[in-house]
A and B are shown apart, each in its own frame.
Chain A
C-alpha cells in the first residue's frame, strides 16, 4: 500500500496480502492501533532488497560500459490497486461512523492526526524510493537533494513538497484548534526562522558528509570488484598462460589449453550459473568440455525446451550421448561435433552429429562394443530408443530418445 509493509508481512507469514491489509484496516478502528502498528513496522522492518536475478559478470560489465543496448523497462503498476482503495475506503468509513457515534477520538485530534499520517506516509515513501534507487545504482551524484530525491525527478520532488505541506497543515490545524487562530502567525514565523538558521548552520556540514559517504561507498565497491577479478584471473588465465609458455613447442597442447581457457572464461563471463551435472543440459555441457579437452575437437551443445533435472533415466541418456560424442571425436576425423537436446513434455531427445567420415551402420563389427552396447543396448535396456544414421563419407548422427518419468520442471525456459 504505502510502504509495502503488508506485502512484506504477507510474504513472511505465507498469507495472502489481502488478509494482512484487512487486519491493519480493522486494527485502525480501535483508536488507530492498526495505523500505529503499521507505521512502527514500516520503520523497524528492513526494506527488502530488489530481487533482480544476478547476471553473469561479463554482461554486467558490458552493460556498465555501455557496450549493450540498454533495455527499456516495462513494469506494470501493481494489479491490486482497486482492492487496496476499496479497503482504504472501508476503513475510513468505519472510522467516520465511530466518530459520528462519539466512540472515536475527539475530532480536534483526529483530523490533524490523519493529515499528519498522510504527510508522513508520503515523506517516508520517498525515502524508501531513494534508498531503492541507491541500491539499483541509478541515483544521481547530487548530494543531499540526491539523497532525498533518488533518481525520481519531478514525481519525487512533488511527493516531498506535498508531504511537507501536509505535515505543516496538520500542525497548523492542531495549533489553531488548541490555542486559537491568532497565535498561528507568530508561531509559524518563529518556526520558519528557526529552521532557516538551523539549515544555514548545518547545511554545509551535511553536504560534505553525504558527499564523502557516496565517494567512500563507490571506492569500496570498486576495490572489492578488483579483488574478485584479480583472484579469478590468477586462478585461471595466469595459470594457463604459464602452461602455454612451457608447452610453446607443442601445437596440440597449446590449442587445447587455449580452448579450455576460452571456455572457462566464457562460462564465467556469460553463462548462467548452473551447478555441474544437476540437469541434463549441465551434464551434457560438462561431458562436452571433457571431450574437447581429451580429444582435441570442439563440441557445441544447444538446448531447446525445458531443462530436465538429473535422475537415473537422464543419467543413462547422458552416458549414451557421451559414448556417441567420444565416437565422433575419436573415429570420424571431424573437428567439430554438434549436440542438440530438445524436451517436449516428458519426452527428451538428444542428437549427436558430426560431419566426419561416417561408416556403414549395418557393418558394425561385433567387437565394436561402443556403438552396439554403450549406445543401442544401453538405451533399450532402460526403455529408451537409439538410432544411428550414417554412411561412408556422410558423417554420423546418433539420435537418443526417452520418455523421462517424474519430470521435474526445474527451470522453465
Chain B
C-alpha cells in the first residue's frame, strides 16, 4: 500500500492557500488536483483517486463534511485530512464524524503536514492537541456500570491517557516512550478513538455536541 510518493488533492476555496500548499509540499507529495468548492471537489476526487485529500472545513456548497459524505457514498476508501483555521469545536468534530481521518490547523509546518498526510495514507488517524482536547471533553464523565458493555461510548483508560498526552503536545513517538508502548500501539489507540468519535451514540457526546450546536 505504501507508495514512495503519495497522490494528494488539495480542496480549499482560497487560491492563495492552495498555491502555498503546492509550493511547500511540491517536493514531498504529488499534487494531482485542486478544487475550490463541494461540487468540483467531489468530481476531482472521484476522477483522480488520490491517496489523501487535504480538505478545508469551510467550503462553498455545504462545507468539508459534505464532501466527505458524498465521496464516501461512491468511494468509501478515500482518505481525508481536515485542515482549518476555524477552531470551532462543532466544525472540527462535524467533519471528523462525517468521516475524515484527522484534523490539523492551517499554521502547521510543512514537514509536520507531510508527516500527517503519510500517517493518514497509512490508515492511521491524526489528532492535533486541540482535537484531542475536544475528544476528552466529549467523552468526559464517569463510566456507569450498567453501560460497561457499550464499548463505543467510552474511552478506555489507556485511550484517555494517550489523548491527554497528545493534548499536552506530545508527538506519537513521545507518547509511546512515555507510556512504554510501541508507536504502533499508540496508532492503534488513536484509530480506535477516531472510530468511537465517528460511531458513538453516547448520550453525553450527543448532548455535548448539541450544546455546541453540532447536530
Q: Which residues of A contact B (CB under 8 A)?
A: 55-56, 58-59, 62, 65-72, 74, 262, 266, 269-271, 298, 300, 302-305, 336-338, 340, 342, 351, 353, 355, 397, 413
CA distance A70 to B60 in the complex (A): 12
List of B residues within 8 angstroms of A68 by Cβ: 57-58, 62-63, 91, 94
B75 within 8 A of A: no
Chain A residue nearest to B206 (CB atoms) is: A74
Point out the residues of chain A lying under 8 angstroms from B26, CB to CB.
none
Whether the pair A67, B130 counts as a contact (CB closer than 8 A) is: no
Do A71 and B215 contact each other (CB < 8 Å), given the known contacts A300-B129, A340-B167?
yes
Given known A-B contacts A66-B61, A67-B59, A353-B168, A304 and B98 have beta carbons under 8 A apart: no
Binding stretch for chain A, among B131-139, B144-152, B188-196: B131-139
Leading 9 A-B pairs by shortest Cβ distance: A338-B169, A67-B58, A302-B133, A69-B65, A69-B63, A340-B168, A68-B63, A304-B136, A353-B169
Q: In the complex, A271 Cα to B88 Cα: how many Å?
A: 7
Determine which of B58, B62, B65, B129 lies in contact with A340 in the assembled complex, contact meaning CB atoms within 8 Å: B129
Chain B residue numbers with a CB within 8 Å of A270 are 85-88
Across the interface, which residues of A come within 8 angstroms of B66, CB to CB?
Answer: 69
A66 adjacent to B62 (CB under 8 Å): yes
Apart from A62-B63, A68-B91, A69-B65, what 19 extra A-B contacts exist at CB < 8 Å?
Answer: A56-B88, A59-B86, A59-B88, A67-B13, A67-B58, A67-B63, A68-B94, A69-B62, A69-B64, A262-B107, A298-B107, A300-B129, A304-B140, A305-B136, A336-B169, A338-B129, A340-B129, A340-B167, A353-B170
CA distance A231 to B54 in the complex (A): 34
B63 touches A271 (CB 8 A): no
Cβ contact of A300, chosen from B65, B169, B214, cutoff 8 A: B169
Residue from A65, A266, A298, A340 with most neighbouring chain B CB atoms (10 Å): A340
Q: Report the minimum CB–CB distance from B3 to chain A (whole Å).
A: 29
CB-nearest residue of chain B relative to A52?
Answer: B213
Q: When chains A and B are docked, how far (Å) is the Cα of A304 from the Cα of B85?
A: 20
Closest CB in chain A relative to B203 CB, distance in Å: 14
Query: Which residue of chain A has its CB nearest to the CB of B132?
Result: A302
B18 at the interface (CB under 8 A from A): no
Q: Which residue of B lies closest to A56 (CB)?
A: B88
Shortest CB-to-CB span from B130 to chain A, Å, is: 5
Of residues 112 to 138 in B, which have CB atoms within 8 Å of A's CB atoms?
Answer: 129-130, 132-133, 136-137
In the assembly, what is the distance between CA of A336 and CA of B169, in Å?
A: 10
B contact residues around A266 at 8 Å (CB): 85, 87
Does chain A have a CB within 8 A of B211? yes
What is the distance, in angstroms, from A240's C-beta to the closest C-beta of chain B?
A: 17
For residue B169, which residues in chain A have a CB less than 8 angstroms away from its CB?
300, 336-338, 340, 351, 353, 355
